[in-house]
Each structure stands twice: as C-alpha cells, then as structure tokens.
C-alpha cells in the first residue's frame, strides 16, 4: 500500500519455503521493519533438505560453525561437521526462538505465481489464493529427488525407497542391502551401514575421488569456551571461510591449472593409493576424471567401510531390477531385502513445477528455455520484485549456503528498499545485464575444474558448469551493493 508520502508503508511479502533460506528471510525481513510476511511451506515442518534427508550417516560437509547463522551461533554442535539431526534441531530451535511459526503456513504449496496489476497473484495447492508485492523464492536446490531410469524397479518385492525418503521403520541389521549411487549420500550410507548390514552391495556407475576428512567431536571444554566466548566461534568460522578451507578450495576449482588444484589432486590420489589394499578394488575405485570435477566427497572412513568383508563394490552394469533383487548385465542376480536409491536430485528445478509468469505473460519455462539463469543468481529479467536465494549460477558448490544466503538477502533488502522508499514500484535485473553477466560467467566456467571432463549435476543441459566460476572475494564484493544501472526500475 502506498502512503501519502509516496512511500510503501506496508509491503506484502511471500516467501516460498521454510528451509534454511526461508527461515533467514522471515527473521531478517521482520528485523528490517516489515510485518506483512507469509512463508508457505509444502511440508509439515521447517528444515528443507535437513527435514527431507534423514538417512543413516547423514553429515554436513561444511564446518559446523560456518554452517550457522551469523546472528545465532551455536556452542552446542557435537562435531566439527555436524550430523543431520542436529542441523534440523538447530533450524527448529531458531524458528521457535524468533516466533516464526506465526508467519509460516505449512502443508501448502504454491502452484502458480503470476505478476498482474503490479502485484504477484498466488494460487495454492489447496485452491486458496493470496497476493504479494514482493516474492522471495527460498526453495533451495536439492529438493526434487531424482529416480534412476532402471527397468523393473516396480517389480522388486523387497523394500525400496530413495535416500531422501528414508523409511526408518525398515530394519537394517543383518539384512541384504543394495545401494545404487556413490555420491556424497552413497558414501555416507556405506560408512554407516557397513557394520550393520549382513550383506551390503554398492552399485557404482562412476568412481569418485575421496578427500580424507576427520570429524572430531568437540570436547566439553571446547563447548564451555564457545558458551563463554562467542568470539571463538566466529574465529573458527573465519578460519574455515578464509584460511585453508573455503577460500583456498574456491581458488582451486575456478582455475583447473592452479597450484591449489594440484595439491588437492595429490591428496586424494594418496588417499586412494594408501587407503585401498586390494589392487583390483583400487583400480575400480580410481576415477578417470580429475579431482573436484564432480562435487568433492569428504569422508574419514569410506575406504575402510568399502573393504569390509560383508561389503561389495559392484561395477558391472545393472540390467534390470527383478522381484528378488538386481540382475547385472553379466547375468548375475544379487538377491536383496532392501534397495536404496541414492541417486541425487534434479538440481535444475528450483521453483518448478510451480507455474511462474512474469511481465506480459512471460513464463519461466520460456525464460529458461535454454538454461536456468538469474542475474547474480538473484533476479530474473521481466520477473519484477521476485528474488531468489541460492538461485541458478550461485556458488552452491563452493562455500557455505548459509553464508551465501545471508549475503544475498542483504543485497536483496537494498533492492526492496527502493520500493519501500517509493523510488520505484518494480525492480528486476535488466536483460542487458543478464546477457552480459551470463556471457562472462560461461566464459569463466570453461576454465573451472567442473569443465575438465566429467558428467555431474553441476553441468546444465548444454554441458556448461552452472555454478559460480569466480572468486569468493568477487562474490562478497558483488553482494555488498547493487549496481542499479543493471536493473530496470519502473514506476
């Protein structure tokens, strides 16, 4: 609503999703003085990917004090790399502390979002309607499970589910378990189940490089120090973000020929050579592509687990799934009680399948006909007052998603302030800025390790790496202040 002074006195906000970024949005928008905020969440509780994923062995691969809101440090993390249930509890605790439940509508999915008459018109899965001046898409990246195209999955007579739909009512101890997939999820599950399963078969299509990574528990003395001195937690975060952690890793992956990349390759190669005793198994675990071309996998004990006497790495192609188990192309039948699909997510979905329509009837599917894109991963041309957190082409494979989202939201708040002040009614990235940014991004992406020759979820439909291909410093600089010449300001 516009006040007599021409300023927007009470902008109406809708946030899509109550995961990490949606919770952040609710807290920060209220802190900025906005009060008319609704967060729509398709599930029955907060948490996003940490609500969806509950598989055995689930652990974050970002240091705990870096995977924490800067304004809500947590001295109670149990380990350097926190387990999934602790992260879920953390987000639930933050939601409760900041009284966000009153602004969240659970079990309600937005199915259509159309810009008309200067506002976003919302249709909900329940049949209800809503409208907003500003929409923030906090849908996340990895939330649509990817199911493999394998014949016979529906014929299996045992238990079968995706790793993101883990059924904890199914017994595991002493059973014959098959696991399709060997990304981060598959590696963590093997480590967790090797000591529990009677027989454990991991079906590997492509070998993975494994970065050795210890995960020590924080001592009670360390936790006491964190409680007494919150600055010590900030120091740990800064050390991870700017020391030998994130900054160094980012510098490596954006320059495939860098010294940092060569160091990483040396470490993972040594880990393989020294970690696997059997020469045949070692060769089957040896990737044919460079380290970090796929998302780097961190594990303290995967190589130990895969060498357990009850664990078998299966590298023969799967022919089909049958009633009793998995039939391989060489004719062998591996009989199973349980089959787990650790086959990842559809990383290009973002808000979809929501029907999103911008100015002049422009549909998102049209705007994204070639590839998902957003200026600085935040704004899409001709979709005014619609902003994304952790959208396309952001540094999702580079550093902590919480750090990314906090910086992006601070940037978005500066754009929203233009509407609040009455300087404009609508703001969105210009087409020229989008074209210029995308051209520079694609050219830089060709020099990254992701473009060195492998198939991964980092690549778009045309084989171009979709993640942020620039330095961490550039991301921080870009997020410090919008360049308004790159935006269409209307009204």
Q: Which residue has the tokens 């703001």?
A: 427
Q: Which residue has the tokens 């991963």?
A: 377
Query: Which pLDDT value is given to residue 246?
Result: 74
Query: Which pLDDT value is given to residue 135?
Result: 98
The listed CATH number (3.20.10.10, 3.30.2310.20, 3.50.50.60, 3.90.650.10) that belongs to domain 153-212+238-341: 3.50.50.60
Query: Which pLDDT value is given to residue 320?
Result: 98
- For the structural domain made of 12-144+347-490, what CATH number should be given? 3.50.50.60
Query: Which pLDDT value is given to residue 455?
Result: 85
pLDDT tens readout for residues 469-484: 998 889 999 999 999 9
Cα–Cα distance between 313 and 302 in angstroms, integer? 12
Cα–Cα distance between 243 and 470 in angstroms, integer? 17
Query: Which pLDDT value is given to residue 1?
Result: 36
Scored b (16 or more CB within 10 A) or e, 263-299 reads ebbeebeebbeebbeeeebeeebebebbbbbbbbbbb
Contact between 307 and 419 (Cβ < 8 Å)? no
Query: Which pLDDT value is given to residue 243?
Result: 59
Query: Which pLDDT value is given to residue 398?
Result: 65
Structure tokens at 22: 């949606």
Confirm whether 12-144+347-490 and 153-212+238-341 share one CATH topology: yes
Q: In the chain, which stretches have pLDDT less than 50? A: 1-8
Instruction: Say how many C-beta atoms besides its own lie within 10 A of residue 465's C-beta.
Output: 26
Q: Which residue has the tokens 């964190």?
A: 226
Closest by Cα among 357, 378, 429 to 115: 357
| HEC profile of the chain | CECCCCCECCCEEEEECCCHHHHHHHHHHHHCCCCEEEEECCCCCCCCHHHHCCCCCCECCCCCCCCCCCCCCCCCCCECCCEHHHHHHHHHHHHHHCCCHHHEECCCCEEEEEEECCEEEEEECCCCEEEECEEEECCCCCCCECCCCCCCHHHCCCEEEEHHHCCCCCCCCCCEEEEECCCHHHHHHHHHHCCCCCEEEEECCCCCCEEECCCCECCHHHHHHHHHCHHHHHHHHHHHHHCCCHHHHHHHHCCCCCHHHHHHHHHHHHHHHHHCCCHHHHHHCCCCCCCCCCCCEEECCHHHHHCCCCEEEECCCEEEECCCEEEECCCCEEECCEEEECCCECCCCCCCCCEEECHHHCEHHHHCCCCCCCECCCECCCCCCEEECCCCCCCCCCCCHHHHHHHHHHHHHHHHHHHHCCCCCEEEECHHHHHHHHHHHHHHHCCCHHHCCCCCCCECCCCCECCCCCCHHHHHHHHHCCCHHHEEEEC
pTM of the model: 0.94
What is the bridge-based pairing of β-strands 119-124 and 129-132? antiparallel
Closest by Cα among 307, 81, 303 to 214: 81
- In the chain, where the domains are located: 12-144+347-490, 153-212+238-341
Query: Which pLDDT value is given to residue 249?
Result: 84
């Amino acid at each position: 609503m516009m006040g007599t002074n021409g300023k927007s006195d009470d902008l109406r906000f809708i946030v899509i999703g109550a995961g990490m970024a949606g919770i952040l949005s609710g807290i920060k928008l209220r802190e900025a003085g906005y009060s008319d905020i609704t967060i729509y969440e398709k599930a029955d509780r907060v948490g996003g990917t940490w609500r969806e994923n509950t598989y055995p062995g689930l652990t974050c691969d970002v240091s705990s004090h870096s995977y924490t809101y800067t304004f809500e440090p947590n001295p109670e993390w149990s380990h350097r790399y926190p387990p999934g249930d602790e992260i879920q509890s953390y987000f639930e605790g933050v939601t409760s502390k900041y009284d966000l439940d009153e602004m969240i509508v659970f079990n309600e999915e937005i199915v259509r979002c159309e810009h008309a008459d200067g506002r976003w018109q919302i249709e909900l899965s329940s049949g209800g309607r809503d409208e907003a001046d500003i929409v923030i898409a906090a849908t996340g990246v990895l939330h649509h499970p990817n199911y493999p195209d394998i014949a016979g999955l529906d014929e299996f007579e045992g238990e079968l589910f995706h790793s993101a739909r883990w059924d904890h009512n199914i017994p595991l101890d002493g059973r014959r378990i098959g696991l399709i997939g060997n990304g981060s999820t598959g590696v963590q599950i093997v480590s967790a189940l090797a000591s529990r399963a009677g027989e454990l078969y991991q079906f590997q299509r492509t070998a993975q490089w494994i970065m050795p990574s210890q995960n020590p528990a924080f001592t009670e003395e360390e936790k006491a120090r964190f409680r007494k001195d919150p600055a010590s937690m900030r120091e740990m975060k800064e050390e991870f973000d700017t020391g030998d952690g994130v900054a160094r890793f980012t510098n490596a992956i954006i320059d495939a020929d860098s010294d940092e990349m060569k160091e990483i390759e040396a470490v993972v190669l040594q880990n393989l050579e020294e970690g696997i005793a059997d020469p045949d198994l070692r060769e089957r675990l040896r990737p044919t592509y460079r380290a970090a071309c796929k998302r780097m996998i961190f594990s303290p004990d995967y190589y130990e687990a895969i060498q357990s006497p009850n664990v078998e790495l299966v590298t023969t192609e799967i022919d089909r799934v049958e009633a009793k188990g998995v039939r391989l192309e060489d004719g062998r039948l591996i009989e199973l009680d349980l089959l787990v699909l650790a086959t990842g997510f559809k990383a290009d979905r973002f808000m979809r399948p929501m029907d999103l329509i911008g100015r002049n009837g422009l549909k998102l599917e049209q705007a994204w006909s070639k590839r998902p894109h957003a200026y600085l991963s935040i704004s899409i041309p001709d979709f005014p007052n619609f902003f994304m957190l952790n959208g396309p082409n952001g540094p999702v494979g580079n550093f902590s998603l919480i750090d990314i989202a906090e910086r992006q939201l601070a940037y978005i708040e500066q754009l929203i302030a233009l509407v609040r002040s009455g300087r404009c009614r609508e703001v969105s990235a210009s087409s020229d800025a989008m074209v210029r940014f995308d051209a520079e991004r694609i050219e830089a992406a060709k020099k990254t390790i992701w473009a060195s020759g492998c198939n991964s979820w980092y690549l778009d439909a045309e084989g171009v790496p979709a993640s942020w291909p620039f330095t961490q410093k550039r991301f921080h600089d870009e997020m410090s202040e919008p360049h308004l010449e790159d935006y269409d300001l209307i009204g």
